[in-house]
Amino acid sequence: MTACFGVTRNTLATNVPGALVDACQRLGVRYRVVDLHALTTTLHPELRVQDEDGPLAVDFLSPTLFYWEEHSALAVKILEMQGCRMLNSADAAMVADDKAATALALRKAGVAQVATTAVTSDFEQVKAAAAAYGYPVVIKRTNGAQGRWVRLAHDDAELERATTELLADGPGTILAQPVSGYRLGESVRVIVTAGEVRAATVRHAGGGEWRSNISAGGSQILADLSETERDLAVAAARVVGLGHAGVDLLRSPAGPVVLEVNSCPDFTSMTPYVEPDLAAIVVEQTLRLG
């Protein structure tokens, strides 16, 4: 029987699975949709991953996002132990899902990134971190996607409201980052797969929104990357351990810096602006691991 490509589907990544299924059909690749929410694992006396249809047997697995589906990370680790090949290991994806862990990995490797301070959920600590940078300041939870749990504050009152909103889902580490020196409402999304830049767009916030996320109404145009930006994006993906990543860069007079590294970027919105078939590249590069 030919190898089977597992296409993961979770709560947040809704567009990419469909694109990967379409790519598998175009390429004649046998596939199985893997609903992360439905996965269960047996740890003893045997290691087994199963879903509603029974034991899960896939030879390859697409990149995935574990946030909101944290239990599935254990299942993916077991699949790795059983020989399943994937561009992004479970451990690497978990680092990318945690913005503080990503910042630490980038710092250790000396990769240029936005200044970041991690504090507890105590508001006085959040306020002290913001004061050190000066307003306006961005605060965010360490986990999240599509611009969720990210807030902009221009003064102490806004900061306190933002902190309360971020902690509504429970206590956790808060990250503070400066805005000064960067173009608020603009970012560069770079898709890196198998160590190569495959596509890039400049994203702009729209409709009164300051975040440049497409899911928040942002727009994008094809990006002309400098050699420094290309090298920075490739380095960021490599340092985090991702074979497939969406690297968000910010531009400044001092040069580009990494804002975030995403393990399961929604590249589908980039399709009208870039020439490469990004979904097919993900499938083909994953199959090359076999």
User: Tens of pLDDT along 186-238?
Assistant: 999 999 999 999 999 999 998 788 888 887 788 999 999 999 999 999 999 99
286, part of any domain: no
User: Total structural domains in the chain?
Assistant: 3
Average model confidence (pLDDT) for the chain? 93
Residue 27 belongs to some domain of the structure: yes
Distances (CA, A) of 278 to 57, 86, 195, 273: 25, 16, 14, 12
Asked if the structure places residue 281 within a domain, the reply is no
Q: d(Cα 290, Cα 286) in Å, to the nearest integer?
A: 8
C-beta neighbour count of 20 within 10 angstroms:
28
Query: Among residues of the chain, what percentage have pLDDT more than 70?
Result: 99
| 248 close to 237: Cβ distance less than 8 angstroms | no
What pLDDT shows up at residue 1?
A: 67
Give yes or no: residues 208 and 81 share one domain. no
Indicate yes or no: pTM above 0.85: yes
Instruction: Yes or no: say if 229 and 153 are a contact pair by the CB < 8 Å rule.
Output: no
Give the CATH number, domain containing residue 199.
3.30.470.20
Q: Please indicate, yes or no, whether residues 158 and 14 belong to a single structural domain of this protein.
A: no
